[in-house]
Structure 1
Amino acid sequence: MIRKRSLMHRTAVVAAAGTTALVLAACAGSGDDGSAGHGGHAATASSSAPSSPSASASASASAAQGQHNAADVAFAKGMIPHHRQAVEMADLAPGRARSAEVKKLAADIKKAQDPEIRTLSGWLTSWGEDVPAEGAMDHSAHGMGGMMTAEEMTGLENASGTAFDTAFTELMIKHHEGAVEMARTEQADGAHGPAKKMAGEIIDSQSAEIEQMNALLGKG
């Protein structure tokens, strides 16, 4: 009888031990699942991490696109026809001007503004913008920045000698004043470094030429 009870007691202990083992195994399994779950979250977080470099790249691309703005585009599109007309006026001087100073001034204007037209056109092309067409557009924009009308241009073409010198100088002063105003707007509102630098050069050189032309007219 005692032996039978002892055997039953041992069986109960073994059963209890087995139950405990099962509970521990279940807990361990639950811990593993939890780890896997955290691992899953970690993986999710990790998988979202690469979006940071991609966001940075996107920000860099935006910064690159932001190197110019609407003011830069307006400056280039306005200054190209403005310069073209100044060059057109300067081209009239060799065969019509009497004053050596006026001829020299016209040559200097053409020498400075021809390369700037090419640079401005290059910027517009690189920005995906249209370069202003040559021709009539130059005169149609006469209300902006001291641009001459077609009638004023015809009058200049028909003048010669001292009359040409006076007309050329007076019209070019107005033309230059318009360019200086446009350049100041670019310096205030533009974002493209090289365009703002060109604007500063235009202000300096054309302001000096305005003084020179006023002196030629006896207004200095």
Structure 2
Amino acid sequence: MRSGTVAPAAVALVALLLVGGCAGSDAAPASVSGTPTSAATAGRPAVPTGTPSQSGPFNGTDIAWLQLTVAMHERVLPLLDLVPQRTADPAVRRLAARIRETHRADLDRSRRLLDRSGAPKTNPHEGHDMPGMVTAAELTALGTAPEAEFRRLFGQHLRAHLEQSVRVAGAEQRSGADPETTALAGTIVRTGSAYLTRLAQLPD
């Protein structure tokens, strides 16, 4: 779907994080479906389509970001798992192992927070190839690529994932409501930025 039409719900979710995150704190939130909120709902947190209103501290941005983070991390882990099989480069293997460990911990935290929020356990991004997500076709190509080509493609896909993860986590920091969720976003911004620096230092 990356080269075609992205699902409207996916576009709206990214808009909520990237555009809605830039709005002032006094602005009325937009709904995830893209329809402006009415005066009756102004001041209430936006809630993603199909997600019940939350009685706790979570707002729509928290839930949307957690759902997107789970989907993105689930997509990149198979890429990281390929590294020991596809390259003997020790620097690449060390970096992949470190990122895999961090991402698995972040994924566990994201899932626990979603459970606490009461959001549905379904994946709203199932089948969506959004920015920062590794596609099934890309994984297949990586599985048969020569080692030098694998390293090049691995760096390209990992960079795209980390950049998008940092971008949307920054939006969650600005517009999220749940303290534990925004703290996780801050962690992902810091570690993602550090991994981008280390990735840039790897030999071509």
Query: Does the pair score TM above 0.5?
Result: yes
* Cα-to-partner distance string for 1:27-86 (whole Å, 9 max, x where unaligned): xxxxxxxxxxxxxxxxxxxxxxxxxxxxxxxxxxxxx93411000000110000111112
* Cα-to-partner distance string for 1:137-195 (whole Å, 9 max, x where unaligned): 2xx23224x11222222111222422211111111001100101110110011001111
In 2, are the aligned partners of 1:156 and 1:167 still within 8 Å (CA)?
Answer: yes
Q: Which has the larger radius of gyration?
A: 1
In 1, are the aligned partners of 2:67 and 2:123 still within 8 Å (CA)?
Answer: no
* Cα-to-partner distance string for 1:107-127 (whole Å, 9 max, x where unaligned): 111111112212111111222
Partner of 1:203: 189
Partner of 2:68: 78
Relative to 1, partners in 2 of residues 1:214 and 1:147: Cα closer, same or farther, differing over 3 Å? Answer: same
Partner of 2:107: 117
| Structure 1: gaps of 5 or more residues | 1-63
Partner of 1:193: 179
In 1, are the aligned partners of 2:56 and 2:117 still within 8 Å (CA)?
Answer: no
Separation (CA, whole Å) in 2 of partners of 1:212 and 1:175: 14
Relative to 1, partners in 2 of residues 1:133 and 1:65: Cα closer, same or farther, differing over 3 Å? Answer: closer
Which residues in structure 2 correspond to 1:120-135 (within 5 Å)? 120-133=110-123
RMSD of equivalent CA atoms? 2.0
Which residues in structure 2 correspond to 1:1-220 (within 5 Å)? 65-133=55-123, 137=126, 140-144=127-131, 146-217=132-203
Q: TM-score when scaled to structure 1?
A: 0.63
Aligned-residue offset at 1:105: 1.0
**Structure 1 residue identity aligned to 2:172:** E
Q: TM-score when scaled to structure 2?
A: 0.68
Q: Which has the higher contact order (CA 8 A, sep 6+)?
A: 2
* Cα-to-partner distance string for 1:80-109 (whole Å, 9 max, x where unaligned): 011111211110001112311111111111
**Structure 2 residue identity aligned to 1:116:** D
**Structure 1 residue identity aligned to 2:178:** H
Moved over 6 A (4+): none
| More off after superposition, 115-124 vs 167-176 | 115-124
Separation (CA, whole Å) in 2 of partners of 1:158 and 1:67: 46
Separation (CA, whole Å) in 2 of partners of 1:197 and 1:156: 34
Partner of 2:44: none
Separation (CA, whole Å) in 1 of partners of 2:140 and 2:60: 34
| Structure 2: gaps of 5 or more residues | 1-53
In 1, are the aligned partners of 2:166 and 2:193 still within 8 Å (CA)?
Answer: yes
Higher helix fraction (1 or 2): 1
**Structure 2 residue identity aligned to 1:72:** D
1:191 is paired with a residue whose SS is: coil
